[in-house]
Amino acid sequence: MSITAKRRDTEVFSMAFLDCICCGFGAVLLIYILTVAQQKNRDSETLEQVQARVNALASQAKASQAEFDSLEKMLAAAQTMLEQLKTKNSGEQVNLTNRQKELLLLLQETGALKDALDKLLGEKKALPTEEDQPVPIPNESRRQYLTGVKLDGNNVLFLVRTSGSMLGDTLDDAIARLEDPDFKKREAPKWQRTLKALDWMVATLNPDAHFQILLFNDETVPLLPNRSEQWIARSDRPAVQEALTRLRQVVPQGSANLERAFTTVRYLPTLPDSIILLTDGLPTTSDSSPNTGSTNDEARVAYMRQAVRQLPPRIPVSTILFPTTGDPGAPALYWELAGLTRGALVSPSADWPDT
């Protein structure tokens, strides 16, 4: 009985065990099925992502290939340019070498020229030199205007009329300018032509000549009182400049006493070799004739003849005439003076010596 009871207990336990095993196997199978399905979905999603990445990498590779091809072309172009630059540089090196040779040759020629120049300068220093002109000669080519004028000799005297008539080309113009201030009188065109003519003649004197300038109106005075008994050397630049500067400070005024001017010349310590008279007409007063207050043509002719009598003999008198309208007898009488003294008469145009 005890054996039967023991077998029955064994069977009951076996069925329960099988039920547990089946239930556990079913659970495992269910879990496996669920896990495999989810893994399949997960693998499917990962494959799509990988494909997208592969496509992106393919596009990037294609772009990189295009960029590489472009860089390769640029490199080829740069290599070509480098070869051209090398060729050009070789040519420039050849040119540079040639230029260096030319420069060396020029330097040698320059040295030879410098030696020749130094030699010529040494020879020039040994030559006699002429000093520069104390006064620039305006339009030196127009010397023919003074044909016959005696600028020769060692001592040349310039006798310059400074009366009021030198202010104008007509008597009315000159009278009108008498009321002007001094600086305006100095600027009168006729007086300026006289100054330029005197500049021109002083500048064209012989280099070894001497000159003196006397001014005459009512009185006759030397231009430079401190040099009244001295003749100015044309080569003495400071003295020449002093004389011409002082001349531009003179103001034309008063009447014209040519007789007194010629008398002053007669008693100079050293007589001139030639006289250059710058005037605009016949004298208007005289020491030998009484002044009646009005001077007509007949009286002025008489004043002229009395003045000529005071001239020292054998001295050429050349007249530069700036004629005043209304003095018809002046050209004839100054022409007569030129013939008497073997001088000359010149009446320059209004634009001489500027042009």
Do 325 and 234 share a structural domain? yes
Asked if 105 and 221 sit in the same domain, the reply is no
Render pLDDT for 245-275 as a digit per residue (tens, 0 to 9). 999 999 999 999 999 999 999 999 999 999 9
Quote the domain boundaries for residue 108. 29-129
Average the pLDDT over 7-23 and give the result: 64
Tell whether 24 is covered by a domain.
Answer: no
In a domain, residue 14? The reply is no
CB of 210 within 8 A of CB of 155? yes
Is 102 inside any structural domain?
A: yes
Helices (H), 127-233: 171-177, 182-186, 189-203
Q: Are residues 205 and 331 in the same domain?
A: yes
Whether residue 83 is predicted with pLDDT greater than 80 in this model: the reply is: yes
Sequence-ordered alpha helix ranges (H) in the chain: 2-126, 171-177, 182-186, 189-203, 237-247, 258-266, 297-308, 330-341
Half-sphere exposure of 54 (CA within 13 A, CB side): 6
Asked whether residue 104 falls in the same domain as residue 149, the answer is no
Residue 50 has pLDDT above 70, yes or no: yes
Q: Structurally, how many domains does the chain consist of?
A: 2
Q: Is residue 283 domain-shared with residue 188, that is, in the same domain?
A: yes
Preceding omega of 353 cis (within 30 degrees of 0): yes
Query: Are residues 194 and 265 located together in one domain of the fold?
Result: yes
145 beta partners:
none
86 and 159 share one domain: no
Do 287 and 311 lie in a common domain? yes
Q: Which residue has the tokens 């020629």?
A: 109
Cα–Cα distance list, 70 to 56, 73, 81, 82, 83 (Å): 21, 5, 16, 18, 20
C-beta separation of 353 from 197 below 8 A: yes
315-349 per-position pLDDT tens digit: 999 999 998 887 888 899 999 999 999 988 888 87
Query: Considering 70, 100, 129, which residue would you say is the last residue of a domain?
Result: 129
Which of the listed residues 82, 103, 129 is the one where a domain comes to its end? Answer: 129
Binned at pLDDT 50, 70 and 90, residue 27 comes out as: confident
Assigned domain for 263 exists: yes
d(Cα 278, Cα 262) in Å, to the nearest integer? 13
Last residue of a domain, one of 129, 163, 185: 129
Burial of 124 (0-12, 13-18, 19+ CB in 10 A): exposed
**pLDDT > 90 fraction of the chain, expressed in percent and rounded:** 34
Residue 256 in domain:
yes
Q: Long-range pairs for 187-190 at CB < 8 Å and ≥24 separation?
A: 188/252, 190/166, 190/280, 190/322
Is the model's pLDDT at 26 over the cut of 60?
A: yes
Residues 49 and 171 in one domain: no
- Answer yes or no: is 17 within a domain: no
Distance of CA 325 to the CA centre of its chain: 44
Evaluate the CA torsion angle 178, 164, 264, 152 in order and state its sign: positive
pLDDT digits (tens, 9 = 90+) for 296-311: 888 889 999 999 999 9
In whole angstroms, how far apart are CA 274 and each of 60, 117, 158, 203, 248? 114, 45, 9, 16, 24
Q: Which of 93-102, 112-121, 215-224 has the highest mean pLDDT?
A: 215-224
Of 8-12, 73-77, 107-111, 195-199, which gets the smallest average pLDDT?
Answer: 8-12
User: pLDDT of 212-240, one tens digit each?
Assistant: 999 999 999 999 888 777 899 998 899 99
Instruction: Please check whether residues 82 and 123 belong to one and the same domain.
Output: yes
My answer on whether 82 and 200 are in the same domain is no
Q: Is residue 134 part of a domain?
A: no
Query: Could you please report the per-residue DSSP string of 71-125?
Result: HHHHHHHHHHHHHHHHHHHHHHHHHHHHHHHHHHHHHHHHHHHHHHHHHHHHHHH
* pLDDT exceeds 50 at position 130: no
126, two tokens: 């040994």
Q: Tell me, what CATH number does 292's domain have?
A: 3.40.50.410
> What's at 179, amino acid-wise?
E
Look at residue 94 and tell me if it is in a domain. Answer: yes
Question: Is 276's pLDDT higher than 90?
Answer: yes
Same domain, 119 and 174: no
Given a cut of 50, is residue 74 above it in pLDDT?
yes
CB 200 within 8 A of CB 138: yes
Q: Which residues contact 44 (CB under 8 A, 6 or more apart)?
A: none
